[in-house]
Structure 1
Amino acid sequence: MTDLLIKGALLVDGTGAPARTADVAVSAGRIEAVGDLGGQAAAQVVEAGGRMVCPGFVDVHSHSDLALISNPRAHSKIRQGVTTEVLGNCGLGVLPLEAGTDTAALRAAVAFIDVDPAVDWAWRDLAGYRAALTAAGPSVNTASLVGHLPLRAAAVGFADRPATTSERARMCELLAAALDDGAVGLSTGLIYAPASYADEAELVTLAGVVAAYGGVFAWHLRDYTDGLAESVRQAVRVAEASGCRTQISHLAAVGRRNWGGVARALRLIEAADADVRADVYPYLAGSANLSQLLPGWAHDGGEAAMRRRLRDPRVRGRIRAEWADRWWDWPDVFVDGSPLATDDDALDLVAEGGNAVAMVAFGRSEDDLLAALAHPATVIGSDGFALDPAGPTGRGTPHPRSYGCYPRLLRHHVGPGRLTLEQAVHKCTGAPAKLFGLAGRGSIRAGAAADLLLLDLEKIEDLSTFAHPHRYPAGIDLVVVNGAVVIDDGVHTGARPGRVLRSQTEVNP
């Protein structure tokens, strides 16, 4: 007997094809049949009543690397319809951890994603991390990128200098080992030390390894502000030199004086003689560690050295002088829900809390956002975390994208003059699954993995706000992962059927 039968749904299948009415049958974790299934019997029958059924959302830009071990039920992601997360973005990875690597220094460098300090980093490589994820048993599927920060920490350390030839070779060896273990690619964060100290030769060398494995190189660009265009040109140059498929992360033009920059960046992507894409989230504010606003030299030697420098009045004076022509205004920068007022406010916070101090920064253009969302080279990525408002990961005032990215897209960016429903769903499902080689995910067809959503389009709404972020959305009625019902009538069933995926894997890894 069929395990689950969804009847009379508005089917948006993830391919971009026109919506149609259909039934969907699920058996043994896979989609058994799609169409007019008549009186087919099933253990569980759900009458859709015209509600939309679509594939589960594939979040290509997640920072849940540690959050999922703390919160395997993945509350904030699964409740907004995410069934697969691509981890390890912005270079802020959690592996490899070679013998001799200063693990405490690395953990401090990626503190932005270290949302539960109780999580023990007991792994050394991707195989060990995959085992830790599997043991945690998350409700969502996961695929992993390799982070540039831990690669550089392992081979070079935290100094502000180019890598030597032998150090680049060691990074390539570590990267290849992770790709052999099933990583879907590499990510860099060229604003985050020590990856920010990499020169273009290092980036081309690493990209060549990724290209040999058919993976994706995801880029947190060196600059999203005054230097956005040149930063995109660098990503394009590396893609063209290496032949590596490239994904520019959270494309945006940051700072009011840079409004209009996204259109120019998209033209550079269109002109590239390489496969270059971008991800975007539907908000006019971003979030990252506050310390990224410091000049690069202030990070030399790691977080502890940075915090010591910020206690030196001469160093603070030098930073204030470099900030004189800054792209931001302090009232646009919030920490724990409150705006900053002065340079010294920011410097005091970073000196005390290091890279763990998170900011939410406003000051973006809606026209830029709409241009990015509409472009055929973009897909949707939340840039968020799998948070539990009742657990250790529920502290503070995070960006609402962790709870509401996908419902917000469907509520506010689908309609006349914006995306069609089919385009929006494709950007969240089929397109990202294809980009990262996640075979059997992202579409509704016979034989595919049964990652499914049942949504009420009249009620879909993101309820998470910047003032009150820990709120689940409305309108997500049913979430199915690998054939198991995880969200039923908006309630988490406790099921944790997620799988750790490999690039180009079949439905069952």
Structure 2
Amino acid sequence: MIDLLIAGGTLADGTGAAPRRADVAVTGGRVARIGDLAGCPAARTMDASGHVVAPGFVDVHTHSDLTLLSAPEARSAVRQGITTVVVGNCGLGVTPAAGDDGEALRAAAGYLDLDPAVRWDWTDMPGYLAALDAARPAVNVAALVAHTPLRAAAVGFGDRPAGAAALDRMRGLLGDALAAGAAGVSTGLVYAPACYAREDELEALGRTAAAHGRLFAWHVRDYADGLLDSVRQALRVAAATGCRTQISHLVAVGRRNHGSVARALELIDAARAAGLDVGFDIYPYLAGNAPLSQLLPAWAQEGGERAMRARLTDRAVRARVRDGWRDMPNSWDDIVVGGRAVTALAADAGTDPPDLALDLVAEHGNAVQMVAGGRSERDLADALAHPAGVIGSDGQALDPAGPTGRGTPHPRSYGCFPRLFAEYVRPGRLGLAEAVRKCTSAPAERAGLAGRGVLKPGAHADIVVFDPARIVDRATFAAPQRYPDGIRAVIVGGRAVVEDGAHGDARPGEILRVP
């Protein structure tokens, strides 16, 4: 007797193979058999006629580090078919941390910190993973080690190079976290204090990741005028260290930089042809989401959030920042806070957009989130079609009825993966099998998550069942907290978490420790 028989569906197994009619039998949290299983005795049968049966989506790029502790049901993630998430991206993370450094680190990670009731009482990766274990999330979770806490622990929040002792300290902390099962390391070279890292520091992280066979994920130094030079830096470090490299959310910011993604892809192709293991992730939207403080130059962020906020009350400092903003790649009309353009907010406040932005960061620090547009549809299409690209939402697992559901988050937290199928697969711009591969086995492979992202006998029974004619994202920038349509069921470890539009009580996710 098998536990669950998913019968009559079209199997897209995650490998990129052509979809085919097949039943899927699940027993003990694993895929037991695949094929024509008519008449096979099962404790329960799910009729998947007219639906695609695929591996659960593996979201390789998320910022759910703390939201999973506040809302372990992971509602906005599971409802769009996600069964596995990778946290710790963009160099923004929550460990290692201790004492006063922990308080400063929590402020630096304000973008992640949506629920002040979440206790932050771990000091290292084993402690953080234990906190995730105790929360019993509905999805599987793997963690990257973030550069920001590594540098804060070894160097502090100032703009100074890491000396030999500091580099040894970072390598040691990173090595300990990787030995504890972290999937890799990430950097975010626009965020303080990681933005102060020199290339020798990045190479030290890359060599440590390579020694453990783990991923190095890059939020590169500049996605606007300096995109190509920033990609070249990531590729130099990959060549120097041999580390598996992932460039995060490969986009070009600002209309004057449209077309730069194609040139970045040429650089990536050349690196791959030379034998480097390089990939990237992308989400199917023409606007991104980040802390508003990301717009500040590195010198204005020095010393941590408290120092940054105090600095922005100085008229001379504000004048210097404003002067630098005169040649921004985006206009203030393209930047939205709280669902409204900064230009409109400034008009209501009787001030101008730069002063409004500075006031917001001075008052609220890194917690202010912006949505920034001005991107190219052609750039996005080029990235989505590239074989080295995978889908990563860059979002968070949110609960619209809880503390993490306040405000106006980017709609990708609710609809990233359904949007890919509605906007790119259904119109024929991307094939079904390839789209499923980009959402499943390919990101799992990038993160080193063996046995995830494929449906074959013996694989983990993480499964999404969706209607290819109805799947659609309903979340918008104006109303982001809406679940998608067309997702019939989401199964994690053989247990249904979502079925027929209802989110159940099961929280069967595992904390994935990479061996």
Instruction: Give TM class, smaller chain.
Output: over 0.9
Q: Which amino acid is the alignment partner of residue 152 of structure 1?
A: R
Which residue of structure 2 aligns with residue 507 of structure 1? Answer: none
State the alpha-carbon separation in 1 of the partners of residues 198 and 286 from structure 2: 31
Deviations 1:177-224 (A, max 9, x none): 000000010000000000000000000011100000000000000000
State the alpha-carbon separation in 1 of the partners of residues 7 and 383 from structure 2: 35
Which residue of structure 2 aligns with residue 256 of structure 1? Answer: 255
State the alpha-carbon separation in 2 of the partners of residues 417 and 204 from structure 1: 41
Q: Is the 8 A contact 2:426 2:468 kept in 1?
A: no
Which residue of structure 1 aligns with residue 101 of structure 2? Answer: 102
Instruction: Look up the SS of the partner of 2:117 in the other structure.
Output: coil
Which residue of structure 1 aligns with residue 32 of structure 2? Answer: 32
Q: Is the 8 A contact 1:101 1:153 kept in 2?
A: no
Deviations 1:376-434 (A, max 9, x none): 01000000000000000001001000000000000001156621000000000011111
Q: How does 1:87-486 map to 2 (within 5 A)?
A: 87-98=87-98, 100=99, 102-272=101-271, 273=274, 274-341=276-343, 342-415=353-426, 418-486=429-497
State the alpha-carbon separation in 1 of the partners of residues 56 and 385 from structure 2: 21
Instruction: Look up the SS of the partner of 1:283 in the other structure.
Output: coil
Deviation of residue 115 (structure 1)? 1.3
* Runs of 5+ consecutive residues of structure 2 not aligned to the other structure: 344-352
* Runs of 5+ consecutive residues of structure 1 not aligned to the other structure: 505-509
Q: Is the 8 A contact 1:288 1:359 kept in 2?
A: yes
Deviation of residue 126 (structure 1)? 1.0
Q: Which amino acid is the alignment partner of residue 457 of structure 2?
A: A
- Greater shift, 265-274 or 394-403, is seen at 265-274
Q: Is the 8 A contact 1:294 1:319 kept in 2?
A: yes
Which residue of structure 1 aligns with residue 349 of structure 2? Answer: none
Which residue of structure 2 aligns with residue 495 of structure 1? Answer: 506
Instruction: Look up the SS of the partner of 2:279 in the other structure.
Output: strand
Report the number of matched residues: 503
Instruction: Look up the SS of the partner of 2:63 in the other structure.
Output: coil
State the alpha-carbon separation in 2 of the partners of residues 111 and 293 from structure 1: 15
State the alpha-carbon separation in 2 of the partners of residues 38 and 339 from structure 1: 56
Deviations 1:331-374 (A, max 9, x none): 11000001112111111111111000000011000000000000
Deviation of residue 232 (structure 1)? 0.1
Q: Is the 8 A contact 1:101 1:154 kept in 2?
A: no
State the alpha-carbon separation in 2 of the partners of residues 329 and 421 from structure 1: 36
Deviations 1:11-54 (A, max 9, x none): 00000000000000000000000000120111110111121100
State the alpha-carbon separation in 1 of the partners of residues 376 and 337 from structure 2: 21
Q: Which amino acid is the alignment partner of residue 481 of structure 2?
A: H
Q: Report percent identity of matched pairs.
A: 62
Instruction: Look up the SS of the partner of 1:271 in the other structure.
Output: helix
State the alpha-carbon separation in 2 of the partners of residues 140 and 125 from structure 1: 22
State the alpha-carbon separation in 1 of the partners of residues 462 and 241 from structure 2: 34
Q: Is the 8 A contact 2:283 2:393 kept in 1?
A: yes
Q: Which amino acid is the alignment partner of residue 398 of structure 1?
A: P
Instruction: Look up the SS of the partner of 1:218 in the other structure.
Output: strand
Q: Is the 8 A contact 1:157 1:194 kept in 2?
A: yes
State the alpha-carbon separation in 2 of the partners of residues 496 and 164 from structure 1: 45
Deviation of residue 493 (structure 1)? 1.0
Q: TM-score under structure 2 normalisation?
A: 0.97
Which residue of structure 1 aligns with residue 348 of structure 2? Answer: none
Instruction: Look up the SS of the partner of 1:112 in the other structure.
Output: coil
Q: Which amino acid is the alignment partner of residue 140 of structure 1?
A: V
Aligned-residue CA RMSD (Å): 0.9
Q: Is the 8 A contact 2:96 2:124 kept in 1?
A: yes
Q: TM-score under structure 1 normalisation?
A: 0.98
State the alpha-carbon separation in 2 of the partners of residues 339 and 436 from structure 1: 36
State the alpha-carbon separation in 1 of the partners of residues 389 and 60 from structure 2: 11
Deviation of residue 97 (structure 1)? 1.3
State the alpha-carbon separation in 2 of the partners of residues 182 and 388 from structure 1: 27
State the alpha-carbon separation in 2 of the partners of residues 247 and 362 from structure 1: 23
Q: Which amino acid is the alignment partner of residue 477 of structure 1?
A: R
Q: Which amino acid is the alignment partner of residue 389 of structure 1?
A: P
Q: Is the 8 A contact 1:219 1:235 kept in 2?
A: yes
Q: Is the 8 A contact 2:24 2:34 kept in 1?
A: yes
State the alpha-carbon separation in 2 of the partners of residues 201 and 371 from structure 1: 32
Q: Is the 8 A contact 1:3 1:44 kept in 2?
A: yes
Instruction: Look up the SS of the partner of 1:404 in the other structure.
Output: helix
Instruction: Look up the SS of the partner of 1:494 in the other structure.
Output: coil
Q: Is the 8 A contact 1:436 1:503 kept in 2?
A: no
State the alpha-carbon separation in 2 of the partners of residues 141 and 101 from structure 1: 31
State the alpha-carbon separation in 2 of the partners of residues 39 and 415 from structure 1: 33
Deviation of residue 503 (structure 1)? 2.3
State the alpha-carbon separation in 1 of the partners of residues 253 and 240 from structure 2: 28
Deviations 1:464-503 (A, max 9, x none): 0000000000011101000011011111111000000122
